[in-house]
Amino acid sequence: MSDLNQAKDSLPFTQWAGAELKIDLSAIAENYRRLQKKAPAARCAAVVKADGYNLGMIPIAKRLKEEGCSDFFVAYLDEGLALRSVLSDNDQIYILHGLFPGSESICANANLIPILNSLEQIDNWIRFCNQNQTRHAAGVQLDSGMSRFGIGPDEIELLCRIDWKSFDLALIMSHLACADIPNHPLNFKQLQQFRLMKQMLPPAPASLSASSGVFLGKDWHFDLIRPGAALYGINPTPQKPNPMQNVVTLLGKVIQTRKIKPDIAVGYGASFVSKKLMRLALVSIGYADGFLRSFGNKAFAKSQKYPEIPLPIIGRISMDSLCIDISELPEKALHTSDFVELIGPNCPIDHIAATGGTIGYEMLTALGNRYQRIYY
Ligand SMILES: *Cc1c(COP(=O)(O)O)cnc(C)c1O
């Protein structure tokens, strides 16, 4: 885990990979600039947990640092330790999950900022700071209405017994449950609740919004915004056109093509049976590569030469391959070793995800290790 990308590069079987995962770092930078512009009064952080939503925490963090980003969020202490080695000591790294008891000194020695999510975590941090006679920095998370991380409204009176002078309160944060639905009443309730609870703590920089929250308006911005998904091209405003630039392009290679007559089964379970003469292409991506089984008979691919023609995925998705219907393409338009797009500008990730009953977030974090990853 010392370098998450090294781990990926050292995989032996990507030289002849059947698929390419292209990651556009300049599009991530452009998305960062767009988000920063949307919340001009706030600082824009970058959430790079889960290896940068599986796209590569290290190259992404390096690129965003060039863009002026100086605040990074990860979920786990291990992720923070790996990230620290490529950032400077002035860059802030926040650990969203807080700390398991006993790891306080590892965290502080690497100059990482834990987000303390419970009274127990706060007590442990204070004890650690007192032992060290140092006011180490930490953030505190408040639960403003989604019952996940943070100190809840029913515990708020207990906060007055906390000796806030024992540590450096670097951030007060909370997280929105329904920010992708702009008129959801919970957005307003959580905003109100966050403002109220925040007053029970000493003054400190505040943060409420992830990607979608940024688009709710400036009341939700506070001092620091925390986008992840939008940086990676996922639409933060699902009911409107995507304001972000496409980042990820997944291309699968054609292994073989064939013609089938009417009344012929395709794939496991014979879930698809032809009604007419068809031309098919077998593509070397399967569910072991994170292309989920739920996309079988639902999603589509595109050939890059004829992006206006959807190529339906037919039959069930296998572990290492899937089948597409290329009957609508001109004869001989697609050959062995040609690429077809499965995610990208012509197959928007949110759209493909919806066909399989999931979301872009899950699609990204499911992508496997067998792709040749190309950064540009
Ligand atoms: C993952 C996460 C984010 C980033 O969310 P996106 O919707 O990807 O922008 C921000 N804050 C917290 C607490 C998170 O867990």
Mind listing the pLDDT tens digit for each residue in 91-126?
999 999 999 999 999 999 999 999 999 999 999 999
Q: Is the CB of 96 under 6 A from ligand 1?
A: yes
Q: CA-based angle 118:122:123, to the nearest 5? A: 115
Q: How far apart are CA 161 and CA 176, in angstroms?
A: 27
Terminus-to-terminus CA distance in the chain, angstroms? 24
80 contacts: CB under 8 Å, gap ≥ 6: 74, 93, 94, 95, 107, 110, 112
pLDDT tens by residue, 324-355? 999 999 999 999 999 999 999 999 999 999 99
What's the chain's average pLDDT?
A: 95
Q: Could you list the active site residues?
A: 49, 268
Helix%, strand%, coil% for the chain, nearest 5: 35, 25, 45
* Whole-structure pTM value: 0.95
Residue 252 contacts residue 339 (beta carbons within 8 Å): yes
- For residue 223, how many C-alpha atoms fall within 13 Å in the half-sphere facing its CB? 12
Residue 260 contacts residue 278 (beta carbons within 8 Å): yes
For ligand 1, pick from 173, 174, 175 the residue to mutate: most ligand atoms within 8 Å of CB.
175
Ligand 1 atom 11 nearest Cα: 210
Q: Quickly state the pLDDT bin for 12 (edges 50, 70, 90).
A: low
Q: How far apart are CA 323 and CA 301, in angstroms?
A: 10
For CA atoms 119, 121, 126, 131, the dihedral sign is positive
Q: Is the CB of 18 under 6 A from ligand 1?
A: no
Q: Quickly state the pLDDT bin for 229 (edges 50, 70, 90).
A: very high
Q: How far apart are CA 70 and CA 83, in angstroms?
A: 12
Q: Is the CB of 227 under 6 A from ligand 1?
A: yes
- What CA–CA distances, in Å, run from 178 to 12, 185, 187, 198, 353? 42, 9, 6, 20, 19
Q: How far apart are CA 336 and CA 171, in angstroms?
A: 54
Q: Quickly state the pLDDT bin for 14 (edges 50, 70, 90).
A: confident
Burial 199-223 (b: 16+ CB within 10 A, else e): eebeebbbbbbbbbbbbbeeebbbb
Looking from the CA of residue 49, the nearest atom of ligand 1 is: 1
283 contacts: CB under 8 Å, gap ≥ 6: 18, 252, 253, 254, 255, 301, 321, 322, 323, 324, 340, 342
| DSSP secondary structure letters along 65-84 | HHTT--EEEESSHHHHHHHH
Q: How far apart are CA 139 and CA 142, in angstroms?
A: 10
User: What confidence score (pLDDT) does residue 160 get?
Assistant: 86
3-state secondary structure of 213: helix
